[in-house]
Structures are given as C-alpha cells and as structure tokens.
Amino acid sequence: RGTTPLFPNLNGQKPEYLMVQLKAFRDGKRTDPTMAPMAIALSEQDIADQATFYGVLKYKDPSTGGSVSRSRLS
Amino acid sequence: RGTTPLFPNLNGQKPEYLMVQLKAFRDGKRTDPTMAPMAIALSEQDIADQATFYGVLKYKDPSTGGSVSRSRLS
C-alpha cells in the first residue's frame, strides 16, 4: 500500500477524512479507476473499519520507503 | 492546515500524488467546495511548488495535534 508515487500514503491519515473519501468513491462523487471498483461494494461498517485501520497505522516516510524488507533491516 | 477532521493531513504526502490531485481540482475532474476555488488559478509551477512543499514537511500525528503551541511545549 502506498508503494507507487500516485497512490497516497494513508497510514496515519485522519479517519474522518478517509471515511468521507471512501463514501465519495463508493457513491460515484469522486471518480478514480483504481478506487471505484474497490469501494463500490463497501458497507458503512466496512468503510468505518477501513478508515480506523489506516488511521491507527503508523505513518511511514514515502521517500525512505518504509517497506517491510527495509523495516526488517533496522 | 490539516486542523479539522475532514481536511487530510498533507505533511509528508507524496508530491506526485499531490500534483495529480491539485491538477484534478483545478481542472474540475475532482470537485470539492473548499479546494476548487483555491486550485482554479494555479499554474503548473504553483502546483509543483505546493506538492514539493507539503512533501518535504514532516508528518504530524493528527491525533496528537502537532499544533505550533503544542510543539513549543515539547
């Protein structure tokens, strides 16, 4: 997740923001060829769960990667 | 910036992502009542500057605030 330059880093993002954006993707108010198919079938609970999940994950600096393999080295 | 729950934390976000989204707001491909008026007059250089600016700022945990006054206390 968040591994390509065009995908935003979501770890540590605000849950309320993530919920609004996920609902916007699901409901067609925000369009994106990657996100729309993933969001279309989400329930309210799914969205709340996802938003909470990313919100509690620790931010990783995209410029330094923060990938699993890199983390394991430190 | 990033002070209300519905505004995303942009500090440390990927510049490439920010550029694409700013252009989408400017060009009407992504709609938002707050962002659209701010983005409408941005030049390509403005957008690149903004994206770089937020990209290099250090991430601040939204749950702990990270406001100026709080930082000054630590």
**Interacting residues of A15 by C-beta distance below 8 A, sequence separation 6+:** A51, A52, A54, A55, B5
Residue B32 exposed, middle or buried by CB count within 10 Å (0-12, 13-18, 19+): middle
Minimal C-alpha gap between A58 and chain B (Å): 9
Global pTM reads 0.81
CA distance B55 to A14: 17
Residues of chain B that touch chain A, judged by Cβ-Cβ distance less than 8 Å? 2, 5-9, 12-17, 20, 29-31, 55, 59, 61-63
Cβ-based contacts of A15 with chain B (< 8 Å):
5
**pLDDT tens-digit series, residues B6-62:** 999 999 999 999 999 999 999 999 999 999 999 999 999 999 999 999 999 999 887
Confidence of residue B72 (pLDDT cuts 50, 70, 90): very low
B16/A30 CB distance under 8 A: no
B8/A13 CB distance under 8 A: yes
Mapping DSSP onto H, E and C, the string for B28-73 reads CCCCCCCHHHHHCCCCHHHHHHHHHHHHHCCCCCHHHCCCHHHHHH
Cβ-based contacts of A6 with chain B (< 8 Å):
14, 16-17, 20
ipTM of predicted complex:
0.79
Per-residue pLDDT of chain A in tens (74 residues, 90 and over written 9): 457 899 999 999 999 999 999 999 999 999 999 999 999 999 999 999 999 999 999 998 877 765 443 334 43
Cβ-based contacts of B5 with chain A (< 8 Å):
14-17
Cβ-based contacts of B16 with chain A (< 8 Å):
5-6
Q: Which two tokens stand for residue A2?
A: 């968040």
